[in-house]
Amino acid sequence: MNIRFIGTQAVPPRAANLPSAMSQPLSPQHLQWRRRVLVSTFFGYAGYYLTRKLFGITKKPIAESLGWELADTAHIWTAFLVAYMIGQFANGWLGRKWGPRVLLLGGLGVSILCNALLGCSNSYRSFLIIMFLNGLVQASGWPGALGSLSAWLRPQERGRYIGIWASSYMLGNLAVKYVGALTLAYFGWRYSFIGFSAATSLIWLLLYAWQRNNPQQVGLEAILEDHEPASTSARADYFSQLTNPLVLLMGVSFFCLKFLRYALDSWLPSFLALKFEISASQAASYSGIFDFAGLLGAACAGWLLDRSFGGNWARLTLALSLGMVAGYALVLGWGDTPLKVALGCGLVGFMLYGPDMLLSGAGAVEVGGARNGIAVAGIVNGMGSLGPIVQEEAIGRLLRAHPENGIGAYNQLALGVSLLFTLLSLALVMLKRPDQKAAVTPTESR
């Protein structure tokens, strides 16, 4: 009997084929609720960024206002990142047990409160404690949001839908950098934190009204048929994914991506302000080019996944990784003005955000399925979240040693990490190769 492999599990052809019910048009009620879930989780995850990323563009004014060394702010963000990594593993399991709705409403609600408290804080210790708590609850965002989608999207639709939907965190980043730059310039860093918390409260209400875990919660039939074998518990499902070699390699690869992405998110505004002697608001505006390009790159990657790569997210990741290497090489050889550095980082962003979406989004849902996609997303993100921790302290050290040339030293380091990611992407292609050996019938095509 022919066997087709999904992840590392062998299933017979009947289970591998998309069931006929999945090829039928969705009812108007299904389409209406799916739109609501897509819209609410899109803005919901963008809201997580509104209560997370403001610290990145306010490091310099906060340090000046409260009398810290700029390099010391690395420890505060490291506290957030350590908590975020711990929270990813915990929320991946809790989401599998309680469902995405509990994660999203609870996590975002606590994060709104933390962000408001930061605007009222005056001590280094209070920043450390609040940022650590915020990191724990922020980790609920991606597993909860992605888990919400897994029951509402068919396999052949995932690439284009998730490719566009994943731009939510880029939208959040852009809002922080541009709206945050304005509030920082006119109202100062304290009112920026409080104002962003108030805006995110409106998004929380949208999530409460429109997010649902699956069609059954609103009295509709399931969109996907569950062919996964029944398991004894959520814990058993979680640990089966935690020992899956493909999931582990995805996590190691995601370490490199998050190292690179968070380094640019966290430090590029400060580097630009220091090296080119421009204001914090100007530096924030230049750094937004990275996110604009990333938004376009993720959408293009989703389209390519469905139309040109036949759903093979590993091969597409490898192709885009080569563009990342070229982008960093361009920044090193060409970046002698803030605009040139920002444009070079924009090329990196275009190539980086596609693999970011593929590994933690479309790939996680494919490997884990509708039931365990939330667990795989949590594991991959949890392993990858060590990357931001490492980069924050490593770049903090570079900044202490070379305050005026931190950006040059970082770009050399980033080029090496992007080369490592390319090698890991090649390994992903090789490990996924058994998936591609099976014949794909028209009903299986994605």
Q: Across the strands, what pairs with 154?
A: none
Give me 378's structure tokens: 């949590």
Distance CA 332, CA 290 (A): 16
Kindly list the distances between the CA atom of residue 141 and the CA atoms of 17, 44, 110, 241, 246, in Å, as whole numbers in the listed order: 31, 8, 12, 20, 23
**pTM beyond 0.85, yes or no:** no
Give me 299's structure tokens: 């959408």
Which has the closest alpha carbon to 312: 165, 157, 435? Answer: 435
Q: What is the pLDDT of residue 434?
A: 56
* Residue type at position 208: Y
Q: What are phi and psi of 332, to 5 degrees?
A: -65, -35
Buried b (16+ CB within 10 A) or exposed e, 147-176: bbbbbbbebbebbbbbbbbbbbbbbbbbbb
pLDDT band at 18 (very low <50, low <70, confident <90, very high): very low
Rounded (10°) CA dihedral 364, 366, 372, 377: 10
Element (H, E) at 6: strand 4-6
Min mean pLDDT across 50-54, 256-260, 272-276, 299-303 is at 272-276
Min mean pLDDT across 91-100, 232-241, 350-359 is at 232-241
Q: What is the pLDDT of residue 410?
A: 81
Print the SS3 string covering 89-119: HHHHHHHHHHCHHHHHHHHHHHHHHHHHHHC
Distance CA 105, CA 40 (A): 11
Residue 7 has pLDDT above 70, yes or no: no
pLDDT band at 331 (very low <50, low <70, confident <90, very high): confident
Residue 210 has pLDDT above 50, yes or no: yes
Give me 22's structure tokens: 């999945």
pLDDT band at 162 (very low <50, low <70, confident <90, very high): confident
Count helices and strands in the chain by DSSP H and E runs: 18, 2
Residues 101-129, mean pLDDT to the nearest whole number: 94
Q: What is the pLDDT of residue 324?
A: 94
The DSSP call for residue 308 is: T
Distance CA 381, CA 92 (A): 9
pLDDT > 70 fraction of the chain, expressed in percent and rounded? 88
Element (H, E) at 10: strand 9-11
CATH architecture of 37-222+232-434: Up-down Bundle (1.20)
Radius of gyration of the chain (CA): 21
In contact, 222 and 151? CB cutoff 8 Å: yes
Q: What is the pLDDT of residue 233?
A: 67
Q: What are phi and psi of 412, to 5 degrees?
A: -65, -45
Give the residue extent of every domain in the chain. 37-222+232-434
Secondary structure class of 192 (helix, strand, coil): helix
Q: Across the strands, what pairs with 9?
A: 6
In contact, 146 and 241? CB cutoff 8 Å: no
What digits encode the pLDDT tens for the residues 252-281?
Answer: 999 999 999 988 877 888 788 877 888 877
Print the SS3 string covering 216-277: HHHCCCCCCCCCCCCCCCHHHHHHHHHCCHHHHHHHHHHHHHHHHHHHHHHHHHHHHHHHHC
